[in-house]
Amino acid sequence: MDKTYTNGSDRTEEHILVCLSSSPSNKKIVHTAAAMAAALHARFTALYVQNRILSDTSDKKRLEEHIHFAEKLGAEIVTTHGENIPVQIAEYAHLSNVTKIVIGQSNAKRSHFFSRAALTEQLIKAAPDIDIHIIPDAVKSEIYPKKQPLLYTNKPSLKDCFLTISIFAICTLIGLLFQKLKFTDTNIVTIYILGVLLTSIVTNGYLCSICSSCLSVVLFCFFLTEPRMSFQTYAVGYPVTFLIMLISSVLTGTLAAKLKTHAKISAQLAFRTQILFDTDRLLQKATGSTEILSITCSQLARLLNRNITAYVAEQGTLSKGQLFFNKKETPAEDILTEKEYEIAKWVYENKKRAGATTRHFNDAECLYLAIRIGNNVYGVIGIPVKKDSLDSFEHSILLSVINECALAMENSQNAIEKEKNAILAKNEQLRADLLRAISHDLRTPLCSIYGNADMLLNNDTCLDTSTKHQIYTDIYDDSEWLIGVVENLLSITRLNDGRLKFKFTDQLVDEVIAESLRHINRKHDNHKIIADCNELILARMDVRLIIQVLVNLIDNAVKYTPAGSTIYIHAVKKSAEAQISVTDNGPGIPDPIKPHIFEMFYTGKNTIADSHRSLGLGLALCHSIIEAHNGKLNLTDNVPHGCIFTFTLPLSEVTLNE
């Protein structure tokens, strides 16, 4: 009966693990595991344990087919490496909370009593707490277990043969020298064992190591034992010495070759892991799809040691390909043709892999993979594999890097969308603030105008002259306030939208100040306004807008200071600028409010003397107008109390002709 596994809750979580191999029957095992995972609604993982480098092309091709088949059935592909396959499978199963393992079982029989236990028997011992489902292989064999050939590497090259012969020629010469120097046979034997070790290091595979072991015994017997140049020997113990020497050499060479193979696999794993770490680190700093794609392709070119093509999705279409070089000798025109682009476009539109080594467009030069998360495709990457196919480990790392790229692109897209939404939210907030300000703050003067007008219409004969004059004055003041608000609102809207056109002219500052005072409403009669501009100052400005700035600043001082206060308007030359300040001796502005006074719709908590609330547009408009004149508007305190608003304008250049 199946065991039930829980992960901190009562809900059963099934995890099916199938073991991948290059066996012809492995496809059937993967299919069975996939059906089991679908029936149990379980997580599905396909594991390949690499314990040697596959040199057989047919084995490589079958393994790739099985990996792609498992991926097509929804499996998560995981690749690891190690000498002891059952232990590696058991360790991964325990770390990943696997509940069921599906593995193939050969029908072969043990050849003798001392034969090593089958992989399934070793796996049952290594993972006794996990359900193991054994699927019989379709291919039968007479020997059990089916052993991997000891010499699984390709035939040795001429270079390997030359190195082997050279090493043992040197060992023989050294042995002859040792004999002449009366060294013992033990010293000579160690020289040949050292030669076996050197051969294992400088050559590829086991074949040269085994041959060098036999060659060392033959050379020692032929050249260094009496009678020389013969395989006969006078010494009684030499046959035993030869046998021990042969066994030692074989073991030494085999172990050295095996360690070299695993060291190579470990070095590849470390390099590929470093590539993954570097890619993740670089993608975290990248901004924008183009930079993300560039980093990904550069890392893949470094990882796979081949050129990479990339196509980025822009506004619903696939851009033209970019080539990222690693092998300079590869002609770019072979993988950036119109035919290859059409295949990449098909991958983008259908969200499926295509190209070389696939069922779709397998005559292509590249394997094309979509950079996607879910149904969102951000681009396509092409890897040339027609002449040099990817191994399973490279394929696994490739998918990991592409997934990292897709995740980074999605995060970048989300950041852009978030920024757009923030801008929209800010605009909506400004619009809401404006509507709220208009609905609340314009209601008071409008109601006042409506009430006063109604009183005049219905009670005109009952009102004396002084009362009528007061009512007319109130209607005028409220209307003037509304006109000022509307003017500020229209000006700041046009300025922000870029529709406000500037007409710069050279103007005398004292005349501009005098004109602005004529626009101040009648309420300034309760305040003393002093203009101080003793020197002629010619400044470059849009006179209409600068008058509006001065009107707003003076009106602001009138509103927020009690009756009888004094307001100073002062203008001086400072460096290459005209400096104009509006000073009052009112209560001043609290420090917490100062950083916000130039923000639109910010009104603070100050109370206006005439009970009208400000919309918070006046100072914001002044700030924008002065910035458009390349000047600055600042607020400082007027000691002991009050405020000083100071703005600058560029001086005009005057040429005097005598």
Residue-wise pLDDT tens digits, 163-199: 888 888 898 888 888 888 888 877 887 888 788 778 8
For residues 273 and 266, what is the distance between their CA atoms, to the nearest angstrom? Answer: 10
CATH number of 502-650: 3.30.565.10
**Model confidence band, residue 143 (pLDDT cutoffs 50, 70, 90):** very low
For residues 266 and 525, what is the distance between their CA atoms, to the nearest angstrom? Answer: 91
**Model confidence band, residue 245 (pLDDT cutoffs 50, 70, 90):** low
The answer to whether residues 191 and 174 touch, using CB atoms and an 8 Å cutoff, is yes
Hey, which residues does 216 pair with through a beta bridge? none
Q: Which of 336-345, 432-441, 446-455 is the least confident region?
A: 432-441
Angle at 637 between CA 633 and CA 643, to 5 degrees: 70
Closest by Cα among 355, 357, 306 to 68: 357
Q: What is the reported pLDDT for 580?
A: 93
Closest by Cα among 620, 627, 603, 596 to 493: 620
Residue 200: exposure state from Cβ atoms within 10 A (0-12, 13-18, ≥19): buried
**Distances 2 to 99, 125, 187, 606 between C-alpha atoms, Å:** 9, 18, 62, 76
The region, left, alpha or beta by phi > 0 then psi within -120 to 50, assigned to residue 481 is alpha
Domain regions of the chain by residue span: 15-136, 158-265, 286-411, 502-650
The answer to whether residues 651 and 588 touch, using CB atoms and an 8 Å cutoff, is no
Closest by Cα among 239, 247, 236 to 221: 239
Q: At what angle do helices 158-180 and 185-202 cross, to 10 degrees?
A: 160
Report the relative pairing of strands 43-50 and 76-81 from DSSP bridges: parallel
**Model confidence band, residue 649 (pLDDT cutoffs 50, 70, 90):** very high
Here the tokens at position 108 are: 């072969």
Q: Which helix (H) or strand (E) holds 302?
A: helix 289-304
For residues 289 and 181, what is the distance between their CA atoms, to the nearest angstrom? Answer: 73
Q: Tell me: pLDDT of 529 over 50.
A: yes
Report the relative pairing of strands 577-584 and 76-81 from DSSP bridges: unpaired
State if pTM tops 0.85: no
Here the tokens at position 169 are: 């020629």
Here the tokens at position 300 are: 């893949």
Angle at 82 between CA 79 and CA 86, to 5 degrees: 90
> Which residues 6+ apart lie within 8 Å of 215 measured at CB?
164, 168
**Model confidence band, residue 604 (pLDDT cutoffs 50, 70, 90):** low
Closest by Cα among 253, 150, 245, 165 to 201: 253
Q: Tell me: pLDDT of 276 over 70.
A: yes
CATH number of 286-411: 3.30.450.40
Residue-wise pLDDT tens digits, 225-235: 777 777 666 55
For residues 188 and 171, what is the distance between their CA atoms, to the nearest angstrom? Answer: 8
**Distances 141 to 24, 52, 110, 144, 150 between C-alpha atoms, Å:** 13, 22, 11, 7, 18
For residues 162 and 385, what is the distance between their CA atoms, to the nearest angstrom? Answer: 33
End-to-end CA distance of the chain: 114
Residue-wise pLDDT tens digits, 6-20: 444 444 588 999 988
**Model confidence band, residue 138 (pLDDT cutoffs 50, 70, 90):** low
Residue type for position 257: A
Q: Cβ of 502: how many Cβ atoms within 10 Å?
A: 12
Q: At what angle do helices 238-285 and 392-441 cross, to 10 degrees?
A: 20
Q: Which of 80-94, 138-152, 226-240, 613-627 has the highest mean pLDDT?
A: 80-94
Hey, which residues does 77 pair with through a beta bridge? 46
The answer to whether residues 55 and 154 touch, using CB atoms and an 8 Å cutoff, is yes
Residue type for position 436: R
The answer to whether residues 103 and 19 touch, using CB atoms and an 8 Å cutoff, is yes
Residue-wise pLDDT tens digits, 457-492: 888 778 888 888 888 888 887 787 777 777 767 776
Q: Tell me: pLDDT of 237 over 70.
A: no
**Distances 460 to 189, 456, 473, 478, 646 between C-alpha atoms, Å:** 135, 5, 15, 20, 48
For residues 543 and 310, what is the distance between their CA atoms, to the nearest angstrom? Answer: 57
pLDDT exceeding 90 applies to what percent of the chain? Answer: 8
Residue linked to tokens 């560029």:
650
Q: Which CATH class is domain 15-136?
A: alpha beta
Backbone dihedral angles phi then psi of residue 430, each to the nearest 5 degrees: -65, -40
